[in-house]
Amino acid sequence: MHPVRDRALVLRTHDLGEADRIITMLCYEHGIVRGVGKAVRRTRSKFGSRLEPFTFVEVQFVPSKRSLAMGSGAPGMVGLGTPFGSGGLAIIQQAETIETYAPQITGDWRAYTAACAMMEAAEHLAGGEPRILRMLVLAFRSLAEARRDPSLVAVSFMLRALQVAGWEPVLLACARCGVVGPHRAYHVPSGGAVCVHCRPPGALTPRQGTPEVLDALLRGRWDVVEAAPEQVLRQASQLVVAHVQWHTERSLHTLPLLAGEGDVRRHTQAPTGTPNRKDHSHGASA
């Protein structure tokens, strides 16, 4: 079987046996790849130190036969077959460091928490979409340079990842009828802001300016974001976390640490008669 080359961001690692390691990577052309680095934990390993979390690498690997049989070699399926590695493990042969963000990120607990939250969200939202890897690399670079508040960098990344996945929240119009806002009510299962006529039971009433701050985070208008009150930023972060968890149908472990769960979580269950998630043709796992 022929090896393939790709650029990838190492998301996490797990020890395997005495000297091997399982590497989970987000690749440009192949989506999420889980592969084995043979003997990378030995001191003589030529590339073991390059396969660490928060490292951007050029990697060469041999896809598993099972993943090719299940996924037909399609982007987003190498080493997977079905999402999150159930199609067998690739064999990693080479890795060259392009850029590493580990020293700066691991040296700051807020940056580390934000990076872990972004990696967890990316793994569940990426599919075979290369834009999410590009956005994640830029976000890690921002964390390493300490240019922005780490939690806001993470929230901005997740909003953009939701947009790429086809699940962009509706912020400045009614998510149900399309009437232009701003609207005071917000309902995550409906897709975002809702008008007074469409407001379902259980909808939130966010603080004034929260949808506008979310829109600014999505569009990178940092002057608006940095001028917002702390309470508004906190609630905006909670709403984004709720959107990610709603669409992935997973309780993601690190995301709530960004801003605390507050009262948002109990509003993310769709009441009877409320439309469920929009059906998008995207590779994210549900």
Report percent pLDDT > 90 for the chain: 36
Tracing tokens 């974001």 back to the chain, one arrives at: 225
Question: Residue 238 above 50 pLDDT?
Answer: yes
Token pair for residue 192? 């975002």
User: What is the amino acid identity at position 206?
Assistant: P
Q: pLDDT tens, 42-82?
A: 766 667 678 888 999 999 998 876 544 444 333 443 333 33
- Distance between CA atoms of 227 and 12, rounded to whole angstroms? 35
CB atoms within 10 A of CB 185: 19
Q: pLDDT tens, 135-188?
A: 999 999 999 999 889 999 999 999 999 999 889 999 999 999 999 988 989 999
Q: Please check whether residue 247 is in contact with residue 87, taking contact to mean a CB–CB distance below 8 angstroms.
A: no
Beta strands 185-187 and 192-194, pairing class: antiparallel
User: What is the amino acid identity at position 89?
Assistant: L
Q: Please check whether residue 60 is in contact with residue 93, taking contact to mean a CB–CB distance below 8 angstroms.
A: yes
Identify the residue with better confidence: 286 or 16. 16
Beta strands 20-27 and 31-37, pairing class: antiparallel
- Distance between CA atoms of 216 and 103, rounded to whole angstroms? 30
Q: Please check whether residue 59 is in contact with residue 158, taking contact to mean a CB–CB distance below 8 angstroms.
A: no
Q: pLDDT tens, 201-232?
A: 989 898 988 989 999 999 989 999 999 999 99
Token pair for residue 262? 């507050």
Token pair for residue 47? 């590339």
Q: What is the dihedral of CA 153, 139, 118, 191, to 10 degrees?
A: 60
**Residues with Cβ within 8 Å of residue 67, at least 6 apart in sequence:** 77, 78, 79, 80, 81, 87, 88, 90
Token pair for residue 78? 């190498």
Q: Please check whether residue 214 is in contact with residue 235, taking contact to mean a CB–CB distance below 8 angstroms.
A: no
Domains of the chain: 4-100 (2.40.50.140), 106-267 (1.20.1440.120)
Q: What is the pTM of this model?
A: 0.79
In degrees rounded to 5, what are phi and psi of residue 202? 90, 0
Question: Residue 277 above 60 pLDDT?
Answer: no
